[in-house]
Structure 1
């Protein structure tokens, strides 16, 4: 054989891939003409392709015996790897075809922790009433992590707050959720039903960590009320904060709980208007598979009805 053509590592796959299935067919048939018939290509074209493959590799893959061929030791080694590679391609193709199936495909869906107890299960139950075989890959995370997941192609859609505003994303407002000032049940404000947020200016706050949407909303609302919150603790989960409020570590601005928690009182904030907007977001220009498109239409149809009243 002539010396192998010098190719960088990134070029081998592009150079060899179109001929791997042809090589496997010839190797299995041990006959170029029969393999050409099986592949529905002209026999001279297949012969030239095999010769070029050997020339590129710089290795003899076949021993030729008239019209038949047999594999050399190098050819047998190469065939084993080629068959594994082709099988992996078949599995990958079947996987993506299955995920895109209109009736039984997959939706990668992200949502906030605070929407997990009631909102998301209710949405999935209602959607699956008409699409019972659609599968969901669910990711529960904070807003910035889900936006990163959209950009990385790991998520198709996400429910997040506040509604993101970025040139590479499409976002639609679906609903809004009132936030309450949560205080310990023995707090001086606990006997009230309503409160202005400025009345909590001297309090210690327990909040979510920076990067969480609810933390940004808390900081913004406190600034509108004329103060910067004094933070006693930064956490990752709203119900943990509610428990810390019950323990007397501070107060918190939180959405309503799925189940009332003892030890705290939840006060309506009259000023400023304490709400967070919930929206659905996806990557602009990202093509939807049929199941993703169906779930997106479903979410948009729930505008104003997303959250329990």
Structure 2
């Protein structure tokens, strides 16, 4: 059962305190009504109700005099203190760059390349230059583990099975192409048919399986009956690209991530050229986490930025048609 003091806090109309303060400042119920755009009976009723809540008389008044009682003087002093606190609330909660400090620890998968995210982080830094950042780069499952343990306030990675304690928001979508390197029999060949890939040596990611985050790639391989030897499986994009470049075989890579390699003729794209497989990359956060002010501000702003930009504008490379994926 609530105590009398707690009941008082919840039951009192705080507008009565504002009306009382104006009555004292104007030294007249009529003048207070004019200032508050209220009729005089409404002001009188407000004063009566406040005196009932306080169980004492606050103002002695008649046609010839108007003065506060000792209780009224004490209450008026407290009202001034309360209104001073309320006046400062906007400054207390606003996003003042000079007040926002702290450190943000993030966890990224190895191949995160997202112009939308880069622009967001640049804008955030310009607005809050005193917030510092650090990032660990690892396999997607390790990213998930870091967010679950609280080591990182957010993760950015591929995901297939969703952990019930985490929230997953699609940050961007990336299309995968198959690539080979100089020395490969298909390098530089412009009329390659996808059936020519079926029996060739292959390297890929460990998640390139029907139950993994790269299931779209695995489904394409299954549909096209790719049955060549698998000579390497890795969690890191750089290792997959390395093995492709040194001639172990062909393999999948995010098209927009390897644009420079394509232009330098270090990689050659193979079919399919239309409707390439796509995977969603997620912003992952822990639902019950209590982050610092800097962490909370970053996550809230990033979620708002994602919600404001259509997924088509967060899909890479832009302009490539691909099958729609389910969204979590």
TM-score, shorter chain, exceeding 0.5: yes
- Tell me whether 1:141 sits opposite 2:138 in the alignment: yes
Within-5 A mapping of 1:1-309: 103-115=100-112, 122-162=119-159, 165-191=162-188, 199-209=196-206, 218-227=217-226, 230-256=229-255, 257=258, 259-260=260-261, 261-267=264-270, 269-270=272-273, 273-300=276-303, 301-302=305-306, 303=309, 304=311, 305-306=313-314, 309=318
- Give 1:85's aligned residue: none
Matched-pair contact (CA < 8 Å) for 1:169–1:281: yes
For residues 196 and 285 of structure 1, the distance between their equivalents in structure 2, rounded to whole angstroms, comes to 50
Q: Number of aligned pairs?
A: 209
Gap change, CA 1:211 and 1:153, over 3 Å in 2: farther
Q: Distance in 2 between matches of 1:169 and 1:194?
A: 46
1:299, CA displacement in angstroms?
2.6
Distance across 1 between alignment mates of 2:148 and 2:196: 41
- Secondary structure of residue in 2 paired with 1:115: coil
Question: Scaled by the length of structure 1, what TM-score is found?
Answer: 0.57
Instruction: Map Cα deviations across residues 79-125 of structure 1 (whole Å, 9 max, x no partner).
Output: xxxxxxxxxxxxxxxxxxxxxx9611222211111116977655432
Give unmatched runs, 5+ long, in structure 2. 1-97, 319-328
Q: 1:160 and 1:102, CA in 2 relative to 1: closer, same or farther beyond 3 A?
A: farther
SS for the counterpart of 1:299 is helix
SS in 2 for 1:107: strand
- Is this contact kept in 2: 1:163–1:278, CA < 8 A? no
Structure showing greater Rg: 2
SS at match of 2:248: coil
**2:208/2:217 contact within 8 Å kept:** no
The answer to whether the Cα contact below 8 Å between 2:138 and 2:236 also exists between their aligned partners in 1 is no
The change in CA–CA distance for 1:169 and 1:103 in structure 2 (over 3 A counts) is same
Gaps of 5+ in 1: 1-100
TM-score (norm 2): 0.54
